[in-house]
Chains A and B, each alone.
Chain A
């Protein structure tokens, strides 16, 4: 299938982890062709944002979330990068969308693809999310549940607020007084929901976090838990969330105790997964 993808401009080949690929392609527009054992696949990246995942091993085909999860759980993969112009990108997109996944969407023991039991444990909350955090482009879902990704949703218009309500952001946004919640990291607003678009705060929030954490270099503080800004009419709360950070904007009516309880639950869950707090 790699032969069938548009040629584009070859950038190079290397071996790397999936996390490295996604963090180092923030300005990339093209395809990351992957080889894992006898299988091959592709990650389409639309100006830094992963827009499609596909993997094939023999007759077994994975697409979208399943392919993303499989690729992300590899330690090292062989990749080659091809930069695309808009025309090549559209052709690649059409080609991937024309490939149907093999039903059912699950791993096969025969081909050696990992079963879900072998997949690294993730937070129950993250597992509950139908879309891996990084796969969603700057998806400002808003109250109406808009989304600008396609392959994860079989219905038009993306997930509605009821689905999102099952996710962590949905838990927090439902609290009285919470106006908006965002997951951000490495200068990118990964996923957000609410009445206020928090994308413009991401860069500032990252700078503030770094500076606040510098306090640890001056006095013995232990690991960073959260930063809360009190502004007229509300608060902004920033806290680590796995490899990313959460930003929560509230009105002044919010019960800070509720927010801090959610934050404690998040951090407790991260500790249980063996993730070191930042």
Chain B
């Protein structure tokens, strides 16, 4: 059921993989095009999220709404689902990031309900 929910994001133009990871870097569920090692990706992303949360705290904010890392050929978007889980999308750099981000937030509750 989680994979079905993630599949809705995978069909968006430019999206290459979608996964749910825990704070500790373990993968809860994923759908992908087969590029990259999802365990390694999850480990790195969890670090980035931890450091981002620390920065949010430093700025006096309790929560992080999301992060967006752009490279020349890829983009990574990560949004928290709850205190423990993040939804992570890897897309091509030319993808419509605003639309992807909007769909991620729109499907948050649906994804959570399947976990």
Q: How large is the interface on B (under 10, 10 to 19, 20 to 34, 35 or more residues)?
A: 20 to 34
A226 sits at the interface (CB 8 A): yes
Cα distance, A225 to B69, chains bound together (Å):
8
Given that A219-B74, A222-B73 are contacting pairs, would A208 and B48 also be in contact in the complex, using a CB cutoff of 8 Å? yes
Which single member of B44, B47, B67 contacts A229 (CB below 8 Å)? B67
B76 at the binding interface (Cβ < 8 Å)? yes
Chain A CB within 8 A of B65 CB? yes
- A217 nearest CB across to chain B (Å): 8
Q: A215 on the interface (CB 8 Å rule)?
A: yes
Contact A231 B76 (CB under 8 A): no
Chain B 60-88 per-residue mask, 1 if CB under 8 angstroms from chain A, else 0: 01111111111111101000000000000
Which B57-115 residues sit within 8 Å CB-CB of chain A? Answer: 58-59, 61-74, 76, 90, 93
Determine which of A208, A214, A225, A232 lies in contact with B52 in the assembled complex, contact meaning CB atoms within 8 Å.
A208
A227 touches B69 (CB 8 A): yes
A215 in contact with B76 (CB, 8 Å): yes
Instruction: Give the chain B neighbours of A219 by CB distance below 8 A.
Output: 35-36, 41, 74, 90
Asked whether B58 lies within 8 Å of A200 as measured between CB atoms, the reply is yes
Q: Does A133 contact B (CB under 8 A)?
A: no
Decide yes or no whether A14 CB sits under 8 A from chain B. Answer: no
Given A211-B48, A236-B55, the answer on whether A230 and B41 have CB atoms closer than 8 Å is: no
Which residues of the partner chain B approach A221 to less than 8 Å between Cβ atoms?
A: 71-74
Q: Which residues of A approach B to under 8 Å, CB–CB? A: 200-201, 204-205, 207-208, 211-212, 214-233, 236, 249, 277
Can you list 26 A-B pairs with a CB-CB distance of less than 8 A?
A201-B55, A208-B51, A212-B48, A214-B47, A215-B41, A215-B45, A218-B37, A219-B35, A219-B36, A219-B90, A220-B36, A221-B72, A223-B72, A224-B69, A226-B69, A227-B67, A227-B68, A228-B69, A229-B52, A229-B66, A230-B65, A230-B68, A231-B59, A231-B65, A232-B65, A236-B55
Beyond contacts A208-B52, A220-B73: 13 other A-B pairs, Cβ-Cβ < 8 A, are A201-B59, A215-B69, A221-B73, A221-B74, A222-B72, A222-B74, A225-B71, A227-B48, A229-B52, A229-B55, A229-B66, A231-B64, A232-B61
B residues sitting closer than 8 Å to A (CB atoms) are: 35-37, 40-41, 44-45, 47-48, 51-52, 54-56, 58-59, 61-74, 76, 90, 93
